[in-house]
Structure 1
Amino acid sequence: MAPSEFGARLQKGIVGGFAPPTPNLIINVDCNDGNLHITSATRAEGTPALGSPQTKTVAVADHETIIDELHGILKNLPTEQPPGSEDIYGFDTSIAWYSDDLQWYNGGPEGCGGGESSAKATEEDKKKFKRAIEIIKKISGEE
């Protein structure tokens, strides 16, 4: 079961190199007081920056089952080592989860800038990570 308070963040656009990555989508989900407080921003094709953030609040009860699923998925997935070295899932997407019982993130704080990770994702891990992306997008309404 997922904790009653947590934060999650999804960023599409984490692979960089010489220049830092340019995000196409950022979703932040903060859970407290029985509600999910969601902020999302997208970058339109051909524009240099994310658009204005959109916010909404929904009841945790509306998404409880898939939040539990997301928490369970992330608890068992590897992250790249060292952080930010390589996009081991191949989706150009990072997820961060912060709660009392789990601190998990992939992609490093500045995205993936190159190098090789000593940890690798299996095909099964990649399927689970793809499902985690789908869950966060569904919760936010960005699916």
Structure 2
Amino acid sequence: MAPSEYFIRLQRGIQGGFAPPTPDAIYTINKLSTNTYLLIHGNVRQGGSPNLEEIAPKSLESSQTDTEDLVNELHDILKTLPTELPPGSEDIYALNTSIAWGSDDLEWNNGGPEGCGGGTSSVQPTPEEKSKFERAVEIVDALVKKAA
């Protein structure tokens, strides 16, 4: 079961090298223990624009069974997945996407804070773990799409 307070961040566009990565989208989802809803913010690169543009904040009732189930599934998946070592060395899931989760019981982040810089990770996920990460990305996308 997911904690009553957490933070989720999804970034599309984490692969870099000599230059930092150019994100196409960044979504943040916040749930405070005092709220019954998720607050969702996003920045998206529209139609080839060189800049990320902020989209209007959205909210989503967190107590809805399907929302709660998705968050619990995401939390459970991330608890089982490895991250690259050293952080930011390689996009080990090969989706050019990172997820960060922060709560009292779990701090998880792939892709490093500045993306992946073209190194080699000493940790590599199994095909099953890669599939689980794909599911985690699907869950965050579903939460963002559900929000009004």
Structure 2 length normalisation: TM-score?
A: 0.93
* Cα deviation, residue 57, structure 1: 1.2
Q: Distance in 2 between matches of 1:134 and 1:119?
A: 23
The aligned counterpart of 2:124 is: 120
TM-score relative to the length of structure 1: 0.96
Q: Distance in 1 between matches of 2:103 and 2:14?
A: 23
1:87 lines up with 2:91 in the alignment? yes
Q: Summarize deviations over 1:6-42 as a string: whole Å, max 9, x none.
A: 0000000000011110000111000021210000121
The alpha-carbon deviation at position 50 of structure 1 amounts to 0.8
Q: 1:130 aligns with which of 111, 134, 142?
A: 134
5+ long unaligned stretches in structure 1: none
Deviations 1:123-143 (A, max 9, x none): 10111000000100110118x
Matches within 5 A, 1:1-143: 1-32=1-32, 33-62=35-64, 63-141=67-145
2:29 match: secondary structure: strand
The Cα of 1:45 is off from its aligned counterpart by 3.4
Task: For residue 69 of structure 2, give the secondary structure of its aligned residue in structure 1.
Answer: helix
Tell me if the contact between 1:41 and 1:54 (Cα under 8 Å) persists in the aligned partners. Answer: no
Residue 89 of structure 1 deviates from its aligned partner by 0.1
Q: Residue type of the partner of 1:134? A: E
Q: In structure 2, what is the Cα distance between the partners aligned to 1:65 and 1:37?
A: 17
Q: Structure 1 runs of 4+ off > 3 angstroms? A: none
Q: Distance in 1 between matches of 2:36 and 2:118?
A: 40
Percent of pairs identical after alignment?
A: 54
**Contact between 1:39 and 1:56, CA under 8 Å: does it hold in 2?**
yes
SS for the counterpart of 1:136 is: helix
Q: What is the number of residues matched between the two proteins? A: 142
2: CA distance, partners of 1:86 / 1:75: 20
5+ long unaligned stretches in structure 2:
none
**1:10 is paired with a residue of what secondary structure?**
strand
Q: Is the 8 A contact 1:4 1:34 kept in 2?
A: no
**CA separation in 1, counterparts of 2:38 and 2:58?**
8
